[in-house]
Every structure is written in C-alpha cells, then in structure tokens.
Amino acid sequence: GGGYSFFSGKDASRSYVTGCFETHLTHDLRGLTREQLKDLENWVSFYRDHHTYYRVGRVVHKPIDPNSPIPPPCNDASDKKS
C-alpha cells in the first residue's frame, strides 16, 4: 500500500495528531488539545466527503476505561516515525 497503509485496520487517531506512531496507536483522545481535536475533525471530514476515498470497513474496539491513565505526552523524537 501507499503512505497511508500504515493506518489501515487500526484506529490511530491519537498518533495522527501527535506524530507518535509507536506509543500513541490508540483511539483514546483524552488529554488532546482543542487544536488537535479540530485537526482530527478536519481529517474525518476530508475523507468522509472525498470522492476518491471510500470506506471499506470499520474498526471495532473496546471502550476506553475512564479510570485508565491518559496516554502520556510524546516528547521523545525516537517515538516519531520518519
């Protein structure tokens, strides 16, 4: 696949906005900034409304336990995929 095949079959919402592709491969959006959430909304809108891209499946995952810790910030450059 192309450059976005990395995102296939998983919900990588958090890593999409943080750039942390090793530790933030999760659908847990707790702790993200308003700007990051807006970036996600724009991404969803782009693919939802685009005539070239279409939905081929759906990722089903367990709900986030509200008592679980929020993923820590990614400050380590080694965690970012180049």
- Residue 30 is classified by DSSP as T
d(CA 40, CA 7): 14
d(CA 53, CA 59): 17
Dihedral angle sign, alpha carbons of residues 38, 57, 53, 50: negative
What predicted TM-score, i.e. pTM, was given to this entire model?
A: 0.75
**In terms of pLDDT, which residue wins out, 7 or 16?**
16
| 17-72 pLDDT per residue, tens | 999 988 898 999 999 999 999 999 998 899 888 888 877 888 898 899 999 999 99
Residue 1's pLDDT band, with cuts at 50, 70 and 90, is low
Which range among 5-9, 28-32, 36-40, 75-79 shows the weakest confidence by mean pLDDT? 75-79
